[in-house]
Structure 1
Amino acid sequence: MSGAPVSSSAQRPDGDSAPGAERPLSEAYALESAGAAFHALADTMPQIVWSTLPDGSHDYYNRHWYEFTGVPAGSTDGEGWAELFHPEDQPNAWENWRRSLETGEPYEVEYRLRHHSGEYQWMIGRALPIRGDDGQIERWIGTCTNVNEHKRVALLNQILGQELSHRIKNIFAIISGLVSLTARNNPGFSDIAQELLGRISALGRAHELVRPHSDRSRREIGDVTLLKLIERIFSFYPAYDEGRVRIEGGDLEIASSAATPMALLLHELATNAIKYGSLSVPGGTLTIKLVDLGNTMQLLWTESGAPKSEEEEIVPGFGSRLVDLAVRNQLGGSYTRAWKRDGLQLDVTIDKARIQAA
């Protein structure tokens, strides 16, 4: 690219022009033929544009590179460009670049590039190989796109999200404190208060799972999935540690908007199982199975060893209405409930679009 323009006439191996028709030009050959026209085009692009030889040695930068970095023309040819990367980003940039040179895979990496003011700004560097007729790499063409403003806004949103999450956790704590204080001053409110505190606690655990995370906490938690939410809710019950709760089946990522109704649904079912169902006796067990049905997700709740066996013994109350509200209204699903010989069987079908993370 840095050399003189090459004639576009097709040549035979012996140097003579091929008679009758021209040989199709390779990408690299056509690029070299463009010469000054390519340089003019590269200078009009909003990104930094660069090219290298097959071994990765830089031999061309457009004017935006020199405007941004402020370095003298030609001073970053070869491998001199690396010194302009932030020291913390150089090892990763080198590793990715060497891998692309060895394999021919497209190059893409984020790094901080030093502006002529001395400030480091975030860039996304990308490059693709240009191959000749024989398939060999003859040149790499790359760009640097400034994403510093996007990074700044993303960081600001992350900080705001974490601050909002912290305030929500404080609100949960305040509400729990108010409920506990009211129960102490009104003994008749004690049973209701315990149920309410349980629901608030379930919401808090769901929020902790789906709240905005830092890069570090996101790596620790991983993907926020339905199975992980179920495990988070049940991990606070002794029956879970005793191995009497089995969770199995498929899985999918869960959106933050679905975490609240799912947490309330699971908490109400678990509370009833502990009070009246299979988890109220030492030998009772519970199996929760998730089945992916395409557009819907089926949750099968099966209790075994429960002391009650007749549906009419359980009078539907507020908890039942809460389950109905969560499944039908908030999750766009439906459910059937039946008491078998030794426990409750619940079949919940939920619209995957309501629970799946975008």
Structure 2
Amino acid sequence: SESESRFRVLADAMPQMVWSTLPDGFHDYYNARWYEFTGVPLGSTDGEGWNDMFHADDRERAWAVWRNSLETGEPYEIEYRLKHHSGVYRWTLGRAVAIRDEAGEITRWFGTLTDIDELKRLEQGRELVSQELSHRIKNIFAVVTALIALSARQYPEAKAFAASLRTRIAALARAHEFVRPHTETSKTTIGATTLHSFLSDLFKAYADETGGARVVIRGEDAVFDDQAATSVALLFHELATNAAKYGALSERGGVVTLDTERQEDRFVLTWSETGGPVIQSLPQRTGFGSSLASLSVEGQLGGRLSREWRPDGLQVIVDLPATALSRRRAAGGYTN
């Protein structure tokens, strides 16, 4: 037909490889770019013949995603390695959408393949450099901690100060370890980069004898990135350390609840201690740890920090802009 001829002319003029299938997924059309890229004989990849063009390590994954789209009608999108006419496999981005009739039934699938091999290699190169830099930063944390320990031996009177400083550096190191660029292997040992998962990891040090959490995190989670990691680590390290020395975590039955809530354009974290020692008198001066916590919230995260010494324990409210925990994501037009 005339419309089909126009489509073929348009598809052959496109820089991407274009293909189409029947509703059941049977491939019956490829444009000229496909044959130029693959070098296969005309019609040789119709039906399921296209499967042999994938890298062996990508076939099962590609088929699983494609089958899901065929079953659900959802758009198809995947990256896989496709065999080039030179004999090497090149990374490509595959996308497809279903065409439906007036009754909503799928009549065809139309898809494209884009060669992204050079982009993929650039990304892999950046990832290697980033991981190497991250490894060196991790080593710096270890060297600084060792230097503090060595210095403390020479100056016994500074032992308490040195111990406190080491724990703060350890909190920063943990923050770095959590948000640094990860490979697929290391991600499984760290977990997703969200506020709740990061804080859960930070509070493991304050678990009870059976490993049970004494800081209970409740409420909405939030995407979390490295721009906020240092400030959040210092803030909650100070709160937990003080609770362990003087507050709820210093008593056997004491607990802390941390409630997190999105309130329009704000994200509010409420730290509430219960079951700790009875407060005899309010602190007369602001210690370094409290000043550091305030600086982390107000100076680095652009938020507000307030403390209330209630009869059942300290309550700290941290009121942040909703974008403070993930500025890169916010800058890209996303929301938590």
Is TM (by shorter chain) over 0.5? yes
Distance in 2, matches of 1:57 and 1:161, equals: 42
Alignment of 1:224 onto 2:193: yes
Aligned counterparts, 1:110-259, within 5 A: 110-132=79-101, 135-239=104-208, 241=211, 243-259=213-229
CA distance in 2, matches of 1:238, 1:82: 51
Q: C-alpha offsets along residues 247-277 of structure 1, whole Å, 9 cap, x if unaligned?
A: 3222212121111001101111122222222
Residue identity opposite 2:277 in structure 1 = A
Give the equivalent residue in structure 1 for 2:305. Answer: 335
Q: What's 1:107 paired with?
A: 76
Farther-moved stretch of structure 1 (113-122 vs 249-258): 249-258
Distance in 2 between residues matched to 1:136 and 1:291, nearest whole Å: 42
**Is the Cα–Cα contact under 8 Å of residues 227 and 326 in structure 2 kept in the other structure?**
no
Shift of 1:107: 2.8
Give deviations 1:19-75, integer Å, cap 9, x for gaps: xxxxxxxxxxxxxx3243322211110101122334433332221111111122222
The one-letter code matched in structure 1 to 2:205 is F
Distance 2:189 2:24 in 1: 39
Partner of 1:293: 263
2:204, 2:213 within 8 Å by CA — same for their partners in 1? no
Give the superposition deviation at 1:223.
Answer: 2.5
Structure 2 stretches of 5 or more lacking a match?
A: 330-336
Q: 2: distance between equivalents of 1:336 and 1:239? A: 28
Structure 2 distance, partners of 1:291, 1:309, is 31
Query: Contact 1:223/1:253 (CA < 8 Å) preserved in 2?
Result: no
**Whose radius of gyration is greater, 1 or 2?**
1
Alignment match, 2:317: 347
Question: Which stretch shows the higher mean deviation, 296-305 or 253-262?
Answer: 296-305
Q: Over aligned residue pairs, what C-alpha RMSD do you find?
A: 2.2
Deviates further, 192-201 or 49-58:
49-58
- What TM-score does the superposition give when structure 2 sets the normalisation length? 0.88
Residue deviations 1:115-166, cap 9 Å, x none? 0111101112222333455654443322111121222122122222221211
Q: How far is the alpha carbon of 1:185 from its aligned partner?
A: 0.9
Name the CA distance, whole Å, in 1 between partners of 2:244 and 2:9.
74
Q: Is the 8 A contact 2:25 2:109 kept in 1?
A: yes
Partner-residue secondary structure (3-state), 2:324: helix
Deviation of 1:219 after TM superposition, in Å, equals 4.2
Deviation at 1:296, TM superposition (A): 1.5
- Secondary structure at the aligned position of 2:200 is classed as helix
309 and 285 in structure 1: CA distance in 2 versus 1, 3 angstrom threshold: farther
Deviation at 1:102, TM superposition (A): 4.3
TM superposition score normalised by structure 1: 0.83
- The offset of 1:83, in angstroms, is 1.3
Q: Share of identical aligned residues, percent?
A: 50
Q: 1:273 to 1:131 in 2, by over 3 A?
A: closer
